């Protein structure tokens, strides 16, 4: 079946090439700047994979994470500031706690890979994610004077719902990337575009909703994206396997864990993972201190809820442009070269925050609102360009059979880096005595953060030189995970003295034995 799939994919690529020669639709978002190009690109993905998969990506990434995540972010910021009345450093610590479900993503991925429910591997977990999210949002919305610990529990449960849906759709993306390796960048572009467009809409409405119905009302509204996630679990196309032997679950857990460990031990795998963690952990997150300053009536520009929402929404256009720029111009560039420039610009872009805090923009004649839009747009654009090649690299490292588990492991490494960044940022705010009303040392926190953002450049040697089409490794232990007739997972490896030429460039997509 794998060979048939590859033949089918090859014939499809030939058909696409023929269409390009006669002036037909090309693969890509803005190729030829044809007005129908995005529609043709979307239709091509639906045809090559399945419409339910594409809609699932749009719902999970676009509506649940993009729209819901942006709306929930602004709502939570005001919930912590105005309802719970906590300090910026405390808000940072609580944000790290609610991020814990993303750290344990391998557990969700392992469940989706080795524990089918009622004959399905993916669909029931979408349903579970939707139910958890709906209940947690209703609890936050309707409970009066909720204690901070109970609020954190509900927020963490909601985060778990998003994480379970995310790891399940990531498993679908990784699985389709293995079947159609040439479409891996396009699938990641679909994820990024859906997330960016959803965030754009969500941020545009977030300030209005927070102003009209308050933070708790926003939580009630966030139950709708979880309902859509639940519906995806009902319509997703997936093979039905009623004969699963549940008594073998423990054995499959051990086999999957062994496969993950064998894959992770490969030098060509753990080195990029280490870079990804350092890249995120060293980019300290001090957003809550910055947010409290932006909304302060004395020290800051005193932005309203609507202004905060509009600044973030216009800024999210930068994320959308970053996804389009990567898909259209940068997806074939070498990983190391692309990450060097994006990490460098990521550090330099932080200087805009310093200019804003010191109010130098007013001396230049630039109003606060306009400068905040520029600042957020640059941050989102560079951040998206920095993130995209890491996503492509991660999806191509996943062995077939445990796609969800291993991709979740890679993403949990990134999320652990983000949590480290959040907690270290909160510690920095606490040490510098940045509080709800004191911002004298906020400029110093921003300066320290900017310096640390460029430190990952010293670790770029950990990243492969190749692009998404060719990893550029001269030596690669190719790990393949296959399932035999009794659902037993076996790990195979190709030794260094195999018949593969040492100068041959290999794709990171694992070789699959049929």
The domain ranges of the chain are: 49-243, 245-466
pLDDT at 118: 81
For residues 227-235, average pLDDT? 92
Q: How far apart are CA 184 and CA 202, in angstroms?
A: 27
The pLDDT mean for the chain works out to 77
The model's confidence at residue 22, banded by pLDDT at 50, 70 and 90, is very low
Where is average pLDDT lowest: 73-82, 136-145, 464-473?
464-473
For residues 193-208, average pLDDT? 86
Q: Per residue in 114-132, pLDDT tens? A: 778 887 888 899 999 999 9
Nearest to 178 by CA among 390, 4, 414, 6: 6
How far CA 171 is from CA of 239, 317, 322, 400, in Å, comes to 14, 27, 24, 10
Q: How far apart are CA 105 and CA 411, in angstroms?
A: 8
Q: Per residue in 268-327, pLDDT tens? A: 778 888 888 998 899 888 888 888 999 888 888 989 888 888 888 887 788 778 878 887
The model's confidence at residue 467, banded by pLDDT at 50, 70 and 90, is low
Q: How far apart are CA 26 and CA 334, in angstroms?
A: 23
Residues 6 or more apart from 39 whose CB is under 8 A from it?
none
Q: How large is the C-alpha radius of gyration of the chain?
A: 23
Where is average pLDDT lowest: 148-152, 298-302, 408-412?
408-412
pTM for this predicted structure: 0.69
pLDDT at 247: 66
- Per-residue tokens: 306: 């609507």
Q: In angstroms, how far is CA 6 from the centroid of its own chain?
A: 28
CATH class of this structure's domain 245-466: mainly alpha
- The tokens 């409970």 sit on which residue? 143
Q: How far apart are CA 184 and CA 327, in angstroms?
A: 11
Where is average pLDDT lowest: 157-171, 207-221, 396-410?
396-410
Residue 482 or 447, more confident: 447
| 49-243 CATH pick, 2.50.20.10, 1.10.3720.10, 3.30.1330.10, 1.20.1250.20 | 1.20.1250.20
Contact between residue 305 and residue 207 where contact means Cβ atoms under 8 Å apart = yes
Residue 378 or 488, more confident: 378
Q: Is the pLDDT of residue 78 over 80?
A: yes
pLDDT at 237: 80
Contact between residue 159 and residue 101 where contact means Cβ atoms under 8 Å apart = yes
Residue 337 or 227, more confident: 227
Instruction: Please indicate whether the domains covering 49-243 and 245-466 agree at the CATH topology level.
Output: yes
Q: How far apart are CA 473 and CA 128, in angstroms?
A: 40
pLDDT at 31: 44
Q: Is the pLDDT of residue 509 over 70?
A: no
pLDDT at 227: 94
Nearest to 289 by CA among 72, 81, 68, 74: 81
For residues 207-220, average pLDDT? 91
Contact between residue 169 and residue 61 where contact means Cβ atoms under 8 Å apart = yes
For residues 457-461, average pLDDT? 87
Side-chain half-sphere of 356: how many Cα atoms within 13 Å? 23
The model's confidence at residue 340, banded by pLDDT at 50, 70 and 90, is confident
pLDDT at 449: 92
Q: How many CB atoms lie within 10 A of CB 3?
A: 9
pLDDT at 445: 92
Q: Is the pLDDT of residue 15 over 60?
A: no
């Amino acid at each position: 079946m794998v060979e048939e799939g590859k033949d089918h994919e090859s014939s499809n690529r030939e058909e696409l090439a023929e269409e390009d020669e006669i002036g037909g639709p090309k693969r890509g978002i803005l190729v030829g700047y044809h007005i129908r190009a995005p529609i043709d690109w979307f239709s091509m993905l639906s045809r090559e994979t399945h419409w339910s998969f594409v809609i699932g990506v749009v719902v999970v990434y676009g509506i649940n994470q993009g729209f819901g995540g942006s709306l929930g972010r602004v709502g939570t910021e005001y919930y912590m500031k105005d309802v719970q009345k906590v300090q910026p450093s405390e808000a940072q610590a609580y944000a790290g706690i609610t991020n814990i479900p993303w750290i344990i993503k391998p557990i969700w991925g392992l469940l989706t890979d080795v524990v089918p429910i009622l004959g399905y591997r993916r669909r029931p977990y979408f349903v579970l994610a939707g139910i958890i999210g709906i209940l947690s949002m209703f609890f936050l919305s309707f409970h009066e004077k909720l204690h901070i610990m109970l609020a954190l529990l509900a927020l963490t449960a909601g985060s778990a719902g998003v994480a379970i849906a995310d790891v399940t759709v990531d498993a679908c993306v990784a699985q389709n990337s293995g079947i159609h390796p040439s479409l891996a960048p396009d699938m990641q572009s679909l994820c990024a575009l859906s997330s960016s467009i959803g965030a754009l809409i969500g941020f545009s409405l977030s300030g209005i909703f927070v102003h009209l119905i308050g933070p708790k009302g926003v939580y009630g509204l966030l139950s709708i994206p979880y309902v859509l996630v639940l519906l995806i679990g009902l319509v997703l196309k997936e093979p039905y396997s009623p004969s699963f032997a549940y008594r073998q679950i423990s054995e499959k857990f051990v086999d999957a864990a062994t496969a993950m460990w064998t894959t992770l031990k490969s030098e060509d795998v753990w080195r990029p993972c280490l870079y990804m963690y350092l890249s995120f952990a060293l980019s300290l997150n001090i957003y809550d201190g910055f947010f409290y300053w932006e909304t302060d009536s004395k020290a800051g520009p005193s932005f309203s809820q609507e202004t905060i929402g509009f600044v973030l929404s216009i800024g999210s256009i930068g994320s959308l442009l970053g996804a389009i720029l990567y898909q259209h111009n940068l997806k074939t560039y070498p990983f190391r070269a692309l990450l060097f420039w994006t990490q460098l610009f990521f550090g330099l872009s932080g200087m805009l925050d310093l200019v804003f805090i010191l109010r130098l923009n007013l001396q230049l004649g630039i109003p606060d609102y306009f400068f905040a839009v520029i600042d957020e747009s640059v941050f989102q654009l560079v951040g998206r360009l920095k993130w995209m090649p890491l996503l492509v690299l991660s999806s191509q490292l996943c062995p077939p059979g445990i796609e969800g588990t291993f991709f979740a492991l890679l993403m949990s490494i990134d999320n652990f880096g983000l949590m480290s960044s959040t907690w270290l940022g909160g510690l920095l705010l606490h040490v510098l005595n940045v509080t709800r009303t004191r911002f004298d040392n906020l400029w110093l926190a921003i300066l320290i953060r900017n310096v640390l953002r460029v430190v990952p450049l010293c670790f770029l040697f950990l990243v492969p030189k190749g692009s998404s089409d060719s990893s550029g490794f001269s030596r690669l232990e190719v790990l393949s995970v296959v399932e035999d007739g009794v659902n037993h997972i076996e790990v195979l490896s190709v030794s260094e003295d195999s018949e593969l030429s040492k100068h041959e460039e290999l794709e990171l997509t694992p070789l699959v034995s049929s």
